[in-house]
Copies of this chain bind each other. A is one copy, B any other.
């Protein structure tokens, strides 16, 4: 297995781009990544494109727009970790020598569905009974509050932090700070979660160019090494035995830390899957950033805010940067690469050397299905 590096990244600002097709959204991100890497279109030997709602041959249609046709394109889907699964597959290809340079794309348009929610799978009986994502995370929030004494105000602080980070990110869907009062005063979605504690729907695309570390010198883009790349699926856990312990993330993180040869204390900056306020707190614990039950203390200590010692979601995360399903996992990589290169201006995690991305998909469907992908990077 060869070492693999990211040499270029690109993304479009997340938000509502009504009327734009998946292809319209994605090609500028790809072009930006190619330029950032200093690669030519002809350097790309394989493409992995992640999308849930892009339709047939998403990757090929995007590349056609850029005149990049010929080499293999693999379109992957893994719900909210579609983009990070594309990264996982691309890294497999480069590390094993199937190619030297690969392109990773993540994209989805959610405004194509018109409203505020996304279509889930009709034949999933739990979804049909109302077990949508906000409902699932609301139950987790209530349980966490019961078990560890967290308050609604404390949950709201996750959104306050996310929005304060997003306010410094020109690619974020929301670039305005909010107060605890505004979060709690926004309309209820699934008690105790209010609107500002749920990630928005929107459109977005991101791209990354990866290559074998030993050929990275050929290209101008500043290389950042991929230390770990892990994908795992949920396990059957016989229902809600411990709904605030994120089994899939704990398992995936254990493997990723082992691959990278480091532990949670080494992580300087992380982009985690904060689809809801409670989620970020649960992931602090799943990744070992703090002990079980101590996530609120970690949040309130300020150590996960820009300026702290382990900055979480400096981009604004899903809550502020936005969450265009397939786009999310690759956009997390874009942020971490820029952070490790020191390109993030006033949202920079100073001196960050090791970064982690985490995107997880599904989980309401049968509770135990779903995909989770974790990557660790080092400058």
Name A's B-contacting residues (CB within 8 A): 21-23, 52, 55-58, 60-61, 63-64, 67, 69-79, 85, 88-89, 92-93, 96, 98, 120-121, 123-124, 231-236, 361-362, 365-366, 368-371
Give the one of A56, A75, A98, A233 with max B CB within 10 A.
A56
A362 touches B67 (CB 8 A): no
Assuming A61-B124, A75-B76, A369-B60, is B98 touching A92 (CB within 8 A)?
A: yes
Q: How far is the CB of A43 from chain B (nearest CB, A)?
A: 16
Chain B positions within 8 Å of A63 at CB level: 233, 369
Assuming A73-B78, A78-B73, A123-B21, is B234 touching A60 (CB within 8 A)?
A: yes
Q: How far is the CB of A338 from chain B (nearest CB, A)?
A: 27
Chain B positions within 8 Å of A368 at CB level: 64, 69
Q: How far is the CB of A44 from chain B (nearest CB, A)?
A: 11
A61 touches B235 (CB 8 A): no
A366 touches B64 (CB 8 A): yes
Give the one of A64, A96, A235, A365 with max B CB within 10 A.
A64
Q: How far is the CB of A50 from chain B (nearest CB, A)?
A: 10
Assuming A56-B79, A77-B77, A120-B56, is B235 touching A70 (CB within 8 A)?
A: yes
Chain B positions within 8 Å of A233 at CB level: 60, 63, 69-73
Assuming A69-B235, A233-B69, is B57 touching A79 (CB within 8 A)?
A: yes
Q: How far is the CB of A47 from chain B (nearest CB, A)?
A: 8
A76 touches B79 (CB 8 A): no
CA of A79 to CA of B234 in the docked complex: distance in angstroms? Answer: 27
Name which residue of chain B comes closest to A369, CB basis: B60
CA of A191 to CA of B4 in the docked complex: distance in angstroms? Answer: 52
B70 touches A232 (CB 8 A): yes
Chain B positions within 8 Å of A96 at CB level: 92, 96, 98
Chain B positions within 8 Å of A98 at CB level: 92, 96
B362 touches A57 (CB 8 A): yes
CA of A369 to CA of B47 in the docked complex: distance in angstroms? Answer: 13
Residue pairs across A and B with Cβ atoms less than 8 A apart, 27 shown, are A21-B123, A56-B79, A56-B120, A56-B362, A57-B79, A57-B121, A57-B362, A57-B365, A57-B371, A60-B233, A60-B362, A61-B124, A61-B365, A61-B366, A61-B369, A64-B365, A64-B368, A67-B236, A69-B369, A70-B235, A72-B88, A74-B231, A75-B77, A76-B76, A92-B92, A92-B93, A96-B98
Beyond known contacts A23-B123, A75-B76, A76-B76: 17 more, CB 8 A cutoff: A56-B361, A57-B78, A57-B361, A61-B124, A63-B233, A64-B369, A69-B234, A69-B368, A72-B232, A73-B233, A74-B76, A74-B85, A74-B88, A74-B231, A75-B78, A89-B89, A92-B93
